[in-house]
Amino acid sequence: MKSLDSYLSQPSEQIEPSYMLVRCASLFASMLMYIGEERMGSERYLTTKQNGDRLMKLATAVRIKKSGPGASDGVLRDVSNVADIYLERMNKNYAANGKAFGEDPLILSDLKTCKVVSESFQ
Q: What's the rounded Cα separation, in Å, for the pair 89 and 83? A: 10
Q: What is the pLDDT of residue 29?
A: 97
Average pLDDT, the chain: 92
Q: What is the pLDDT of residue 103?
A: 87
Query: Do 40 and 17 meet the contact criterion of CB atoms below 8 Å apart?
Result: no
Whether residue 71 is predicted with pLDDT greater than 80 in this model: the reply is no
Q: What is the pLDDT of residue 17?
A: 86
Q: What is the pLDDT of residue 90?
A: 95
Range of the domain at 80: 4-120
**For the chain, how many structural domains are there in total?**
1
Q: What is the pTM of this model?
A: 0.92
Pick from 120, 118, 8: which is nearest to 56 by CA? 118
Query: Do 32 and 40 meet the contact criterion of CB atoms below 8 Å apart?
Result: yes
